[in-house]
Amino acid sequence: MPRVIGKDVGPIGYGLMGFTWRPEPTPIDQAIEALKAALESGLTLWNGAEFYGTPDCNSMTLMKAYFTKYPEDADKVTLVIKGSMDITTHKLDGSPEGTRRSLDNIIKQLGGTKKLDGFAPSRRDPNTPLEVTFGVIQKEYINTGKLGAVYLSECSAETVHKAAKLAKIGAAEVELSMFSPDILTNGVAEACAQHGIPILAYSPMGRGAVKILTGRFRTVADMQDRGITSSFPRFQPGAFEHNLKLVHQVEEIAKAKRCTPGQLAIAWVRKHSNRPGLPTIIPIPGATAASRVRENAKLVDITEDEFTRISDMVKNFETAGKRYPDSVPTNT
């Protein structure tokens, strides 16, 4: 069983973004039902952010509601939250003041219902030395028992190497999917393996492609309920239609294997875990309905031949559009 921040977690984790970072947040009863389904299905690592939503409706307010209803579940969940970003302007702030503000707010909003197991600056702040940010986190929060560990988010290989010299890094949250296999070749996965840092693979089904893969999105217009994601380059006219070609190939393989395309996508990400030169890799798909959570949690194993076939398919497909708009920092 994988371990993250000193705790056993399942081979698949759970991303919380979709509940609150959207035009209409998921109804609270539906969200709590989905969270319960995740825990019961073995998805015990939950990943959120201070900026996933509004000051009054975000990952922490959702967690407080859940653990108020199910206090017995608090110790069963490994909760990691990103911050150090202004909630309204989304400006990075890894300064001592910004780091304290973020961590204090996260802990306050959890309201004592759940200890914060991991905290990550959402991106590396170019205006603040990493050792300054980490120094505050270590001295004022980890050493005092308020926080379990620091982890990294959307990081470069250079940041992984530097961070590993400054602190014990609990994990690295980076994107990995058939649409975004970049970390396998840009040094990030290799650096994490070198330092024994597990990877939390976000968007393992390709962001909005999760609904493409499940047949719910077939046109650009179908993407409009996705909030911020609908503005991303890969889901614009032209790029969207091109990227559907990869979806169709995935669908064919999934049909032959008698699993869903989404399950196949998650299985492909999982198959990378602890292969030669790679660290533990835990996909963290999101889902806002209990039925979809259970579907994603089903462990589908793929053979070496299937893995090679899919990997070759991915290598030979050039995804259209960048992962993020130019205004969003990446590989920091």
Active site residues: 52
| Nearest partner of 45 among 141, 171, 134, 178, judged by Cα | 171
Token readout for 205 is 């089904």
Cα-Cα-Cα-Cα dihedral of 253, 254, 257, 258, to 10°? -150
The residues, ordered by sequence, that sit 6+ positions from 312 with a Cβ below 8 Å of its Cβ are none
The residues, ordered by sequence, that sit 6+ positions from 216 with a Cβ below 8 Å of its Cβ are 222
Contact of 264 with 302, CB cutoff 8 Å: yes
Token readout for 177 is 């999917």
Report how far residue 118's alpha carbon sits from residue 170's, in angstroms, rounded to the nearest whole number.
7
Host H or E run for residue 175: strand 169-175
- SS3 assignment, position 260: coil
